[in-house]
Amino acid sequence: MINPRVSLLKKSTTLKITALTKKLLKEGKDVVNFAAGEPDFDTPEFIKTAAKEAIDRGFTKYTPSTGIQELKEAVAAKLQEENNLIYSKDNIIITTGAKYALFVALFGLLDFGDEVIIPSPYWVSYPEMVKLIGANTVFLPTLQTDNFKINPKELEKVITAKTKILILNYPNNPTGVTYSKQELFHIYEVVKDKGIFVVSDEIYEVLTYDNKKHVSFASLGGAKDFTITVNGFSKTFSMTGWRMGYLAAPSDIINEISKIIDHTTSCACSISQQAALAALRDKNWKDNVRAKFQERRDLLLSGLSGCDKLRALKPEGTFYMFCDVSRTGLSSFDFSTKLLERELVSCIPADAFGKEGFVRLSFSTDTQQISKGVKRIKRFINNG
């Protein structure tokens, strides 16, 4: 009865554990939430005000399916100013979250049997989307010894005549690593003449630390012609529930794939689009958010530094810390389940990201909670 490709899908572990954590907190349990895939603070007031005004003036109807013109122009201006990408509004589609932008990009390009290269560890939804579409996943393991970065030589080896897409995600969920311009250029050199598309998920771009600059893959050489850049408002502006994302691509691709929006969601939420427009007009929020998360990263990292059995990778971006827990002798799943049961600390087991022996700790919580969580993790490890 059920579409066999749907039966193949796994539930999202990140959403499942996030929901469980929220339920426990609501029940009054003193859980330290290191599972969260969303910022802990509220959506900024200036964004909420824009949404309320949109409702009050009746901006509550369908919009053009690819989004309102002002927002698409604002996204194009942002991409030019911050990402060195020259696009017009005709290169942009506003979507119901970045997740749907990814789905539209993949569904728009892939045919049955096409291969999609997914560097692993990977964010949970990429393989499931590819499976749902009926294409084939080809995992490209990245190694701890390479700091979990794509090795261009290994990338070259997995490209076949059937390869259609390479998915890039940096700063990376779950590893927290990001790429310099030079590192990206090595990847560009491998893919540029192969007739492959790159879907570049840059949703964590603002959370790039230590004064490093985020570089968009599409800004390298001729990459713009074969890259779909995906981004959104969920992480930067704490707007996960508003469902606001976008993609930027060559206009012939936009013309084709916008038909998917026409016949599925019709358009993204009109009120959220006005909220997103207000978000893009702001100039200070991003720096504040970055500084706050970097401070939290440093606190969590120094707190865990003496811990022999848990080795944390220093995040270069995102609000995720990838930790090797293999020395505890527990699997990722057992580590995270027991940590929640015994010490009320939630985190995500990295088998969900295709990597056994690791867990993902989110530092999207305040400094007091981080300190409390560190103490509990250490106690959990010391008590074996």
Smallest distance from ligand PMP to CB 78, Å: 16
Yes or no: say if 318 and 171 are a contact pair by the CB < 8 Å rule.
yes
Q: Report the residue number, 98 or 254, with the smaller CB distance to ligand PMP.
A: 98
Helix ranges, the chain (H): 4-7, 13-26, 45-56, 69-83, 97-109, 125-133, 152-158, 181-191, 251-262, 270-281, 285-304, 332-343, 367-382
Find tokens 């490093």 and name the residue: 212
* Residue 19 partner contact from ligand GLU, ligand PMP, none using kind-dependent CB cut-offs of 5 to 8 Å: none
**Residues 257/253/199/348 CA torsion (nearest 10 deg):** -10
Q: Report the residue number, 68 or 121, with the smaller CB distance to ligand GLU.
A: 121
- Count of residues in contact with ligand GLU, rule CB under 6 A: 8
Among 91, 169, 173, 328, binds ligand GLU (CB under 6 A): 173
Give the tokens for residue 362.
């989110």
In our burial notation (b when 16+ CB lie closer than 10 A, e otherwise), range 276-311 reads: bbbbbeeeebbeebbebbbebbebbbebbeebebbb
Closest Cα to residue 193, out of 230, 237, 163?
163
Contact segment (CB under 6 A) with ligand GLU among 9-17, 76-84, 162-170, 204-212 equals: 9-17
Smallest distance from ligand GLU to CB 13, Å: 8
Question: Whole-angstrom Cα distance, residue 168 to residue 174?
Answer: 13
Q: Report the residue number, 163 or 364, with the smaller CB distance to ligand GLU.
A: 364
Q: Report the residue number, 33 or 227, with the smaller CB distance to ligand GLU.
A: 33
15 in contact with ligand GLU (CB under 6 A): yes
* Residue 15 partner contact from ligand PMP, ligand GLU, none using kind-dependent CB cut-offs of 5 to 8 Å: ligand GLU
Q: Report the residue number, 14 or 208, with the smaller CB distance to ligand GLU.
A: 14
Give residue number: closest CB to ligand PMP.
Answer: 97
Give residue number: closest CB to ligand GLU.
Answer: 37
Q: Which residues bind ligand PMP (CB under 6 A)?
A: 37, 97-99, 123, 169, 173, 201, 203, 232, 234, 240, 245
Among 33, 34, 37, 104, binds ligand GLU (CB under 6 A): 37
Smallest distance from ligand PMP to CB 27, Å: 25
Q: Report the residue number, 20 or 307, with the smaller CB distance to ligand PMP.
A: 20
Using the 8-state DSSP alphabet, how is residue 208 labeled?
B
* Residue 268 partner contact from ligand PMP, ligand GLU, none using kind-dependent CB cut-offs of 5 to 8 Å: none
124 in contact with ligand GLU (CB under 6 A): yes
Q: Report the residue number, 37 or 349, with the smaller CB distance to ligand GLU.
A: 37
Give the tokens for residue 276.
């997103």
Question: Whole-angstrom Cα distance, residue 10 to residue 23?
Answer: 21
Yes or no: say if 102 and 132 are a contact pair by the CB < 8 Å rule.
no
Judged by DSSP in three states, 276 sits in: helix
Give the tokens for residue 289.
């958010």
Binding region for ligand GLU (CB under 6 A): 12, 14-15, 37, 123-125, 173
